[in-house]
Amino acid sequence: MSVAMTGDRGLEIIARHAADGARLREKFFAARGERIREMALRVATCIEGGGKILLCGNGGSAADAQHLAAEFVNSFLADRCALPAIALTTDTSCLTAIGNDSDFARIFARQVEALGRKGDMLIGISTSGNSANVVAALRAALAAGMHTVGLTGLGGGAMAPLCGILLDVSSEFTPLIQEIHIAAGHLFCWLAEYYLAENPEEFREYLKKDGAIHGG
């Protein structure tokens, strides 16, 4: 018996959400697959050069930042060395001090100023693309000479012009945007360790081409 025939509203919500999510996921990875691959290569290049990954976001996006930082530091699938990544959402003393003494919009930017160095990467996560503290962090990262990546909803909002690589999900529905964000995050973690630990030859070829493109 189909969901429609049962008249069960709960099952209808589940079926619709699953179908909408599957369509959005397929659309996103078809449109943004090249960017995810490029992001993974940039992550690998950053780490290979002695840099680190900083991540930030609010609410569910804060949880995603912490989740992805843990995947880098521990491991995703490969048996490899720890990779340097820090979620800027975890130090409650730092967050509350900056929020209390300065401005909540500065809670990530101040940490970027303290921890970020030229060649590092900041990954900012915001479903709207307009979170003031993530926008401020991206500006601080650019001022420090860092690479910037954004995970956002449709269009990227205020974050779009501040991101060297933008992974925007073509939706305004927060739950589905977040589901795509963590799927994309899993992939660039997977690919980064693939290039660094499983297929360094392919990564070295990329570095040669990348160096030639940028005059290295």
pLDDT single digits (tens) 177-215: 999 999 999 999 999 999 999 989 999 999 988 764 444
Strands 121-125 and 85-87: unpaired
pLDDT tens digits, residue range 99-136?
Answer: 999 999 999 999 999 999 999 999 999 999 999 999 99
Number of domains in the chain: 1
DSSP letter for 164, please: S
Domain holding 133, by residue range, is: 8-213
CATH number for the domain harbouring residue 104: 3.40.50.10490
> Does residue 2 belong to any structural domain of this protein?
no
Structure tokens at 198: 């499983």
Identity of the residue numbered 186: H
Indicate if the pLDDT at residue 70 is higher than 80. Answer: yes
In this structure, is residue 159 part of a structural domain?
yes
pLDDT for the residue 50: 96
Sheet holding 165-168, edge to edge: 85-87, 53-57, 121-125, 147-152, 165-168
Residue 37 lies in a domain: yes
**Model confidence, pTM:** 0.92
Residue 104: both structure tokens together: 């909540």
Position 183 scores a pLDDT of 97
Of 132 and 1, the one with more pLDDT: 132
Q: Amino acid letter at 113? A: E
Q: Is residue 133 part of a domain?
A: yes
Task: Tell me the percentage of the chain whose pLDDT exceeds 90.
Answer: 89
Are the CB atoms for 28 and 170 separated by under 8 Å? Answer: yes
Is 187 domain-assigned?
yes
Helix (H) or strand (E) holding 166: strand 165-168
Vertex 189 angle, CA 145 and 35, to 5°: 65
Does 70 map to a domain?
yes
Q: Does a structural domain hold residue 3?
A: no
- Give Cα 213 distance to the centre of its chain: 25
In a domain, 185, yes or no: yes
> How far apart are alpha carbons 174 and 89 in whole angstroms?
20
> Any residues with CB less than 8 A from the CB of 17 and at least 6 apart, and which?
175, 176
